[in-house]
Amino acid sequence: MPGLVPLVEAAFAPLFDQLRPGAPALVRVSQRADYQVDGALPLAKALGRPPREVAEEVLAKAWEGDLAALCEKAEVAGPGFINLTVSAEAMAAQLAVLRPGASGLGAPRPDRTLRVVVDYGGPNAAKQMHVGHLRSSIIGDAIVRMLEAVGHEVVRENHIGDWGANFGMLVEHLVDLGEDRAAHELAMGDLEGFYQAARAAYEADPGFAERARARVVMLQSGEPGTMALWRSLVDASVNHFDQDFHRLGVKLSRDDVVGESYYNPMLDRVVSELSEAGLLVESDGALCVFPPGFANRDGAPLPLIVRNSAGGYTYAATDLAAVRDRTERLRADLVVYVVGLPQSQHLAMVFEVARMAGWLTRGEQLVHVGFGNVLGPDGKMFRTRQGGTVKLSELLAEAEERARSVVVGRTGGTAQDLAGDVDEVVRAVGTGAIKYADLSTDRVRDYRFDWDRMLSLDGNTAPYIQYAHARVLSIFRRAGEATRLAERSGDFLPPADPEERELAKALLSFGEAFADAVDGFAPHKLCGYLFDLASQFTRFYEKCPVLNAPAADLVRSRLALCAATGAVLATGLDLLGIQAPERM
């Protein structure tokens, strides 16, 4: 695997292990030198020795070993860090191993491939997707792509809300409209209008409300006519979600829909298993589990309600059945829930009850990958000017309109160098800007939706990184013959200029950045890395002539640096679900 951290790791790890078995070397990319080894501090503490002394000892031994061939300078600094400056020759040798394709660029290889279920998207049928679902879709998709790229086996599940008492009124409204008209309205994507009209009828008309309640009973008993109407409602919504996901470039499709209704036949069993495990408590006619450690504001134990007093199964019951299904039928080792932070407590309780019920016997991990709210430019919840839910299709249309002026504006109002690709580029930039803005902030924080910032051509944005990538390709269009030369490996000269060196170092850090992003389900770490790489490239390109470099071997070497940059930027954007247009 290319990348210098594994080599530094290999030079130090056995020495730390000798002094104390299992003690980690803790190597990381450093700001002050190239790499920093931090392991001497915890090790010295465990051994009861001065950390600088331990660091000196380990460094001297490493230097006698492979380190001298790798580094031009190594020293103990501060309380006991080891700072390393890699030699230019070692950098060139490592760069030569870079090959297009995620793993060839230094992507991490886990010890064990896992079967991972990623629960993301999760919109509700017959309702407009809101920005929370948009976030879940974008973040979830990046996580899916990263997990797949490191070799895990991923099952995508879109846990849509397609069941519950609401469907009584929705089916009744469908009947009132007539199936044809209802189908038309839903096909037009006016899910919100349909839902609001049903709600209004329910509230204003007692007769309608009565029918809606009777309809719920028919649904619960599986009456065939009612089920067919319900199905058509859900299908229309799924069609609509499908279009949205497709437009967004999110991998979710109708085949990934495993909605709440899917779990209906399993709910009785869930309850009887909880009962057999002695976990069920009846409280005011409802069936509950009280997992320890959860309390309300007054300190009273908090129930996870599985069946309400009317005998209806809850959202929690469905989620418990989903845990069972995912770990048992799908044999998942890891289940990742990409769901907003307001559901933290719900999920924590579901996970705990699953554990108490003894369903997690193979060390299965259930992880909530939460995220904050989307705020408008005013810092309040993101809404339309009228105060309604922002429609994804309108959001994307606006993104493209604004991206058009960015792209066309940059090419002097003619966009002639884009030839016929303008629309495609505009789409890639517009959608990319929205996705990147969402992915580049630490997901647990709220993020502010700001058109000007996300579409800016300088800063930590998609257009900036896409532009750096397109610039690399434009060099190759001009290079012609030299292109083919640079594609051969081994063309890297030891980087001599500081900008070359920094670019090389950034290229060799892809694997670490990627590993951090996957391990923490933290796409923003990959974004930060790509921004740094694009910035290093910009600096390099301003200082170091490529095609006009003074010697032929330097032209080839710099072209090879450009090629590697282009490959890493394109791969990184792809991992985030963002396109990298060839021209911009």
141 binds ligand ARG (CB under 6 A): no
Tell me if 361 sits within 8 A of 131, measured CB to CB. Answer: no
Which 235-254 positions form the footprint of ligand ARG (CB under 6 A)?
none
Closest CB 125 distance from ligand ARG, rounded Å: 9
Which is it for strands 286-289 and 281-283: parallel, antiparallel or unpaired? antiparallel
314 binds ligand ARG (CB under 6 A): no
Closest CB 236 distance from ligand ARG, rounded Å: 17
How would you class 456 by CB atoms within 10 Å of its CB: exposed for 0-12, middle for 13-18, buried for 19 or more?
A: middle
Among 5, 92, 107, 339, binds ligand ARG (CB under 6 A): 339
Among 161, 164, 303, 572, binds ligand ARG (CB under 6 A): 161
Residues paired with residue 435 on neighbouring β-strands, in sequence order: none
291 binds ligand ARG (CB under 6 A): no
Strands (E), 6-93: 27-29, 35-37, 71-77, 81-86
Closest to ligand ARG by CB, 47 or 348 = 348
Token pair belonging to 499? 């900008």
Among 83, 94, 124, 571, binds ligand ARG (CB under 6 A): 124
577 binds ligand ARG (CB under 6 A): no
Closest CB 308 distance from ligand ARG, rounded Å: 17
Q: How far apart are CA 459 and CA 456, in angstroms?
A: 7
Q: How far apart are CA 527 and CA 537, in angstroms?
A: 15
Closest CB 305 distance from ligand ARG, rounded Å: 15
Stretch that binds ligand ARG, among 7-15, 118-126, 164-172, 210-218 (CB under 6 A): 118-126
137 binds ligand ARG (CB under 6 A): no
Three-class DSSP category at 427: helix
Closest CB 194 distance from ligand ARG, rounded Å: 17
Closest CB 285 distance from ligand ARG, rounded Å: 25
Nearest residue to ligand ARG on Cβ basis: 122
Q: Give the chain's radius of gyration (CA, Å).
A: 28
Closest to ligand ARG by CB, 159 or 501 = 159
Closest CB 385 distance from ligand ARG, rounded Å: 24
Find tokens 């951090």 and name the residue: 516
- Number of residues in contact with ligand ARG under rule CB under 6 A: 9
Q: How far apart are CA 381 and CA 373, in angstroms?
A: 7
Among 122, 164, 432, 511, binds ligand ARG (CB under 6 A): 122
Q: How far apart are CA 216 and CA 313, in angstroms?
A: 13
Among 141, 162, 244, 319, binds ligand ARG (CB under 6 A): 319
Neighbours of 401 (CB within 10 A): 11
> Would you say the C-alpha torsion 398, 400, 401, 406 has a positive or negative sign?
positive
Tell me if 72 sits within 8 A of 496, measured CB to CB. Answer: no
- Type of residue at 511: G
Stretch that binds ligand ARG, among 98-106, 119-127, 276-284, 516-524 (CB under 6 A): 119-127
- Angle of helix 422-440 versus helix 392-410 axis, rounded to 10: 110
- Type of residue at 2: P
Closest CB 350 distance from ligand ARG, rounded Å: 8
Among 34, 38, 119, 491, binds ligand ARG (CB under 6 A): 119
Closest to ligand ARG by CB, 314 or 441 = 314
Closest CB 322 distance from ligand ARG, rounded Å: 6
Q: Could you tell me which of 560, 580, 572 has the C-alpha nearest to residue 99?
A: 560
Among 135, 156, 159, 427, binds ligand ARG (CB under 6 A): 159
Closest to ligand ARG by CB, 40 or 322 = 322
Three-class DSSP category at 303: coil
Pinpoint the alpha helices (H) of 83-190: 88-95, 131-149, 166-177, 179-187
> Would you say the C-alpha torsion 140, 143, 147, 149 has a positive or negative sign?
positive
Closest to ligand ARG by CB, 368 or 402 = 368
Closest CB 541 distance from ligand ARG, rounded Å: 44
Which 14-73 positions form the footprint of ligand ARG (CB under 6 A)?
none
Tell me if 367 sits within 8 A of 335, measured CB to CB. Answer: yes
Binding residues for ligand ARG, rule: CB under 6 A, are 119, 122, 124, 159, 161, 319, 322, 337, 339
